[in-house]
Amino acid sequence: MKMDYKLQVGVQSHLEQMGSLDDRSMHDLDDECLYSPEMDAQKTQSADSHERVSLSGSLAVGGSKMIRNCVYKSIKTVVFSNKLNLLMAFGPLAILVHKMTAHNGWVFFLSLLGITPLAERLGYATEQLAFFTGPTVGGLLNATFGNATELIISIYALKSGMIRVVQLSLLGSILSNMLLVLGCAFFCGGLVYPGKEQVFSKATAVVNSGLLLMAVMGLLFPAVLHYTHTERHAGKSELALSRFSSCVMLLAYASYLVFQLKCQKDLYAPIDEEGSQNGENSDDDDDEAPEISKWESVIWLAIMTAWISILSDYLVDAIEGASEAWNVSIAFISVILLPIIGNAAEHASAIMFAMKDKLDISLGVAIGSSTQISMFGIPFCVVIGWMMGQEMDLNFQLFETATLFITVIVVAFFLQEGTSNYFKGLMLILCYLIVAASFFVHEDRSSTDESKQPQT
């Protein structure tokens, strides 16, 4: 009996131990269920999501800081890097004077001062963009945006019916680029390099001279038709010929662009001392780098163009009042004063490139700009006036057409050798002084009659 009792007790204790083991195993199983790999994955996912949120937050803060730094750096580079930009304050001042007073002389003067740094910064942004486009497209961009000021002023004047101001300002832009801008480039380049003659592509000069002569032909025939009184339909043939010639000139300029970009890609390649084009002679170019990015250049071009458009509206409205207040003819203001301000970008760019012995780019900016105004700007304004119902023609009157013809012949003679020095530059500058003096004493009857028409 004792043996059976002991055996029973041992079996019972054994069973209790197994029960406790089962309980522990159940608890372990529950723990394993509670801490399964799925729970670990969920925990890691939640931790990763917290990290992503914190990382995205830090990236957003860092991205906004980077954007602010880029904007601050861009404004500092473009606006505050040049002392000439202090004149930008005169733009809002011109608008304020226009709103508060009726003194058109001051509005015109302050608008001119306000546009001057904008035109120069427009050239700067174009130059920065040219780093990303190559020399040929860069030269075209310099000529295009360098003429943006004159074209904007011309469109506003055309909208106001001031056809004579449009004609004279575009003519003055051509004369200023060919004589003053190119002359200053030759003169400054010759002073920096006094011991040698700077060289440029003779082929480029010949092509541009031919286009300028074609533009003179387009302006000459309507004037001759008018002054010889040989129109088949009085008052209509001259306008019809002008519009047809404008379309032909636009076609010729488009063909010139295709020729320049497709067939003559090395048109602005550097020229060595022997007169051959040398693409390897660009060690100095490697030292230069753009100061702002491509998209920054595009944005600044848009901003400057928009601000110039706003000031041009006030400038055009104040031209007649400034002429009366200063006792200066509208012809002198349109041919001399407006182009000097509008050509500030070309003036600075052409001189800068000439002083770096890159005379081909200077030639592309100065003569290329004249070619663009004569073969695109003037015909474009005739077509735009046609669309607006304004009867703008290519009859620039006898005195103005003769001045342009003689200027083109003189510049063509200076360019035919393919070399430049400070003496040639000085001669071109002196020729411009003669032209300026001529328009100072010249009374343009057409602009006077045009200014009196709105008052009647």
Helices (H), 318-419: 319-326, 330-332, 338-342, 344-355, 359-372, 378-388, 398-415
> What is the number of other CB atoms lying within 10 angstroms of the CB of residue 100?
8
Domain that holds residue 295: 87-268+291-441
Does residue 23 fall inside a structural domain?
no
Q: What is the pLDDT of residue 453?
A: 57
How far apart CA 431 and CA 433 sit, in angstroms, is 5
Does residue 451 fall inside a structural domain?
no
Does residue 128 fall inside a structural domain?
yes
- Report the CATH number at residue 373: 1.20.1420.30
How far apart CA 143 and CA 148 sit, in angstroms, is 9
Across the chain, which has 456 residues, the per-10-residue mean pLDDT values are 46 48 46 48 53 55 75 84 85 91 86 85 82 73 73 88 91 92 92 86 87 93 89 84 95 87 59 47 56 87 88 87 88 88 73 87 85 92 92 92 94 90 93 94 72 49
Does residue 225 fall inside a structural domain?
yes
Q: What is the pLDDT of residue 387?
A: 92
Give this prediction's pTM.
Answer: 0.76
pLDDT in tens, 286-345: 456 788 888 888 898 889 888 988 888 888 888 888 888 888 888 899 899 888 876 776
Q: State the total domains in the chain.
A: 1
Name which of 225, 150, 175 is nearest 381 in CA terms: 150
Q: What is the pLDDT of residue 29?
A: 41
Does residue 351 fall inside a structural domain?
yes
Q: What is the pLDDT of residue 82?
A: 79
Does residue 36 fall inside a structural domain?
no
Does residue 27 fall inside a structural domain?
no
Does residue 152 fall inside a structural domain?
yes
Which amino acid, residue 336? Answer: I
